[in-house]
Amino acid sequence: MKKTFKYLMALTLCAVTLVACKEEKPYVANGADGEIYVEFGGTGTTDTRLLVTTDGALSTTYAMTVVFDMYTNADEWQIVPDYSECYDPSYKWISSWPSEGNYDGRFEIEFQANTRQGDTRYAKINIVSHGKVIKTIEVEQDKANITQFYIQPFLQIQNFTASGKFESGDNEGQTVVKTIPIDTNVAWSARIDDDEFGDPVEWIKVSGVTKAKFDVTVEPNDTGAERQGTITVYQNTNGNNNIVVTVKQAAVKQEEPEQEPEIGA
């Protein structure tokens, strides 16, 4: 009888111990006390920085997809790519399945081939819960095989009148704006070059910059002489890949003085 009692007591203590151990790390829903955690493990990758080839494969394994086994106490989560560092942030090139879930889960990421961006492109894959980023995976993908950076030759010389304004017609008095389109798949910048003496050229203005064009305007020329300046358009990641746009402005035409009539004419 004593042995039976001791056996039952041992079973009871084991059951209590198991329950206690099980409750040491309970799931904690968002909004409750406790920290939200995210861990990768299992048979999936644990890398939080992924290097991807131009054709969309992982540089380390050449697999076309990557799988994450995620352990988390977040009661709901979504996979949200962030393309803000890309040349064209509106273009989506990362997909996930599933793209949302609850607590622990497995998801798969796939990358499209880079045929659009002539620079290395970067993105973040954010795991978001209740509007907050709880984990980030960084992605770096090799550039496209072809880099486009081109301004048509006839646009590389721009001529302006001395006034810098329309002189007749419906647009009289309005500033002349020359739009320079660029055929490109890289991030670029435009700078107004200094003059031959190293002084800033302040009469040329660049504005209206988008990924595919920029606008040029000039101030009225009151110097009495023709003038010329240059705008260098260059690839941000390769300054040697550049195009020079020459801006020329005419001088004000001098009116010939009226001649005195000859006496006795």
Residue-wise pLDDT for 61-106, tens only, equals 999 999 999 999 999 999 999 999 998 999 999 999 999 999 999 9
Q: Greatest CA span in the chain, whole angstroms? A: 156
Residue type, 218: V
Rg for the chain, CA atoms, rounded: 33
Could you tell me the pLDDT band of residue 165, with boundaries at 50, 70 and 90? low
With vertex at residue 10, the alpha carbon angle to CA 8 and CA 11, rounded to the nearest 5 degrees, is: 65
Could you tell me the pLDDT band of residue 33, with boundaries at 50, 70 and 90? low
Could you tell me the pLDDT band of residue 4, with boundaries at 50, 70 and 90? very low
pTM above 0.95, yes or no: no
Nearest to 209 by CA among 240, 238, 184: 184
Whether residue 259 is predicted with pLDDT greater than 90 in this model: the reply is no
Distance CA 77, CA 131 (A): 9
- 231 touches 158 (CB < 8 A): no
Class of CATH domain 149-249: mainly beta
| pLDDT value of residue 174 | 58
| pLDDT value of residue 6 | 47
Helix ranges, the chain (H): 2-22
Fold of 23-141: Immunoglobulin-like (2.60.40)
- CATH 2.60.40.10 occupies which residues in the chain? 23-141, 149-249
Structure-token match 């721009």, residue found = 158
Q: Residue 190 gets which letter from DSSP?
A: E
Distance CA 253, CA 129 (A): 68
Whether residue 133 is predicted with pLDDT greater than 70 in this model: the reply is yes
